[in-house]
Chains A and B, each alone.
Chain A
Amino acid sequence: MSEERLYPGVGPDERTTFDAYSAFDVPADLRELHGRYDVESTARRVRNFRYAQEWMMMIGGGWVATIPELPVKTGLGKIVWDDAKSADELGHRLPELRCGKRSVTTSEPANEGFAAVIQEVAEPERPDLTIEKITGMFDVLKPHLLAVYDRMQRETDQISDAPTIEILDDIMRRTRKHIAWGDEVLERLCDTDGKRERRRIRANELRAQLEACGGVTGEIADESPRVH
């Protein structure tokens, strides 16, 4: 009996005896190559996402001093840090997408319309406008981003663009928590019909503006779920 070969030789009879499957096949890799976005369009989308995350961080930071409800103030403190981490992770993806070493801090709105949406989200300032503040960011903007991130995850090349998928995984996990927190805050704050109406009006106005500009990437209709 010939000795088992641990390494292949140069002749056809010099193959190893290992079975022809690898750990990658257990379970079977059902992913397919080719996604909806090429390197350039993924890079552009990542810059768009980073723009939204960076501005949410800055807006949250600005609001902390203008919100009288203590648990909302402290809750926002954590969310500001989460949004900063999200923007940072997206930024670190950019050089990997052929955007150059310095691109790690690049943010870019898809269009002027989306930049205007961000400024509109930031607009409420007075301490009696916590409902408008939280509605804008947590009922409209974050659910919209979650929907777009989810779609990006599903439609991008599952193997080639896996690093973007991993980053979005983390951001989506945090974003879901933020949306749940915002909803809890708003449920508590909106304890009259009048306040619930303020929430509804604010959400509808912002959502219309978001849809008109094509959302964070400027390309797609708002996929965020309707609120109450």
Chain B
Amino acid sequence: MKRFIQHEELARDSRFIRQQNVLTTVLATLPDEVDAVVETFDKFGPMIEESSRGTAAEPLFEKFGPAFALVTLNEPIVAGQEGVEDRLKMRMHGIFVGEMQALEGAGRSLWDFPDAPWDFKMNMARQCWDEARHVQIYEKLMEHVGAQAGDYPESTFLFECACSDDPAMRVAGVNRGLEGLACDVFRDLIRYADATGDETMKQAVDYVLADELTHVRFGSEWVKEFTKDDKDHFERTQEFRREVDKQFSFGGSRSDREDAAIRIAWQDRLEAGFTEEELRELAEISSGGPSQKTMLAAAKILQERHLARRAAAAQDGEARS
């Protein structure tokens, strides 16, 4: 078995469909301009349509067009709001595949770095079990909210961004970037479960969050250990983490902004070993990108264009027949 695999090589059963990661990458670099968001999503429209075909996202694509993620995934989950069920299902599915990639990332750390210190291997092995349980937990939680594995396309960009060939960067990416994002997402989900009185969801996610804090701590400790005698290496690792954090902010949807879909879980992150300085930096890094207002305005234009195209295609079809 070779060392270091690409994200395209992650093995999945026949239920799963892949989404191109490029859109998520582009989302992290978009300016706060309606036209720029519209043009970008329009350009990727055929690709988004293809990856949503045959999945539970297809009706959403038909209704909203290529920007359906802007009105589902990138919007806050608030009890009672219109469309919250779809948002919740997509969020759960996103977490489920994220956990799977975290499991794969931790597992590959064992195989890719055979000469790593024993304590590192122990931490990664423990993380394998934890992430495996998280996959099982979210499989159950998906069922709990009416979704199933493979219902939505899977983006493997978490694995792609986080899995560096350098062990210090790997733990910075997986254990601090990816698991840090998980802290934010899970705290948000606990808030939702609390608001809706869903004790099953609240308890399960709280256990998962407790595990994630441990994994972030693994990351914080191993970044220090792997770079302890090399200041330059430490700096490059920090830079890598900043890049990952930028990617994982989804153009500001995960940030400390008032209009963020998912807020940074400061308290949990502090407990996990992030410093105040790192969190201020994360807030700064993730604050850029289009505002919610811009996203929704772009989504409206994209929906109108999409429906117009559909109507034109239908007319064309009728004329031909």
- Residues on A lying within 8 angstroms of B by beta carbon are 54, 57-70, 73-78, 80-81, 83-84, 88, 91, 104-105, 122-125, 127
Chain B interface, number of residues (Cβ within 8 angstroms): 36
- Residues on B lying within 8 angstroms of A by beta carbon are 1-3, 5, 9-13, 100, 103-104, 106-112, 114, 117-118, 121-122, 124-126, 128-129, 131-133, 135-136, 139, 149
- A85 vs B209: C-alpha distance in the bound complex, in angstroms? 23
- A157 vs B10: C-alpha distance in the bound complex, in angstroms? 48
B132 touches A78 (CB 8 A): yes
B1 and chain A: residue at smallest CB distance: A125
Chain B nearest CB, measured from A98 CB (Å): 20
Chain A nearest CB, measured from B6 CB (Å): 10
Residue from B2, B11, B121, B129 whose CB has the most chain A CB atoms within 10 Å: B11
Chain A nearest CB, measured from B286 CB (Å): 28
A63 touches B118 (CB 8 A): no
- Which chain B residues lie closer than 8 Å to A78 at the CB level? 128-129, 132-133
- A68 vs B15: C-alpha distance in the bound complex, in angstroms? 10
- A62 vs B128: C-alpha distance in the bound complex, in angstroms? 11
- A101 vs B191: C-alpha distance in the bound complex, in angstroms? 48
A77 touches B118 (CB 8 A): no
A61 touches B1 (CB 8 A): no
B111 touches A62 (CB 8 A): yes
- A146 vs B110: C-alpha distance in the bound complex, in angstroms? 24
- Which chain A residues lie closer than 8 Å to B107 at the CB level? 60-65, 76-77, 80
Given contacts A61-B125, A62-B111, contact A77 B131 (CB under 8 A): yes
- Which chain A residues lie closer than 8 Å to B122 at the CB level? 84, 88
A58 and chain B: residue at smallest CB distance: B110
Add 16 more A-B contacts to A61-B111, A67-B11, A77-B128 (CB < 8 A).
A57-B110, A60-B107, A61-B109, A64-B103, A65-B9, A66-B1, A76-B107, A76-B128, A77-B103, A77-B107, A77-B132, A78-B133, A84-B122, A104-B118, A122-B1, A123-B1
- Which chain B residues lie closer than 8 Å to A84 at the CB level? 121-122, 125-126
A59 touches B132 (CB 8 A): no
- A81 vs B130: C-alpha distance in the bound complex, in angstroms? 9
- Which chain B residues lie closer than 8 Å to A73 at the CB level? 11, 100, 103, 132, 135
Q: List 7 A-B contacts (CB under 8 A).
A: A60-B110, A63-B107, A64-B107, A65-B108, A68-B12, A77-B135, A84-B125
- A145 vs B121: C-alpha distance in the bound complex, in angstroms? 22
- Which chain A residues lie closer than 8 Å to B109 at the CB level? 61
- Which chain B residues lie closer than 8 Å to A68 at the CB level? 11-13
A61 touches B132 (CB 8 A): no
- A78 vs B103: C-alpha distance in the bound complex, in angstroms? 11
B129 touches A61 (CB 8 A): no
B110 touches A61 (CB 8 A): yes
Chain B nearest CB, measured from A178 CB (Å): 13
Across the interface, B1 reaches (CB within 8 A) one of A59, A81, A83, A91, namely: A59
- Which chain B residues lie closer than 8 Å to A65 at the CB level? 5, 9-11, 104, 107-108
- A125 vs B6: C-alpha distance in the bound complex, in angstroms? 13
B11 touches A61 (CB 8 A): no
A124 and chain B: residue at smallest CB distance: B1
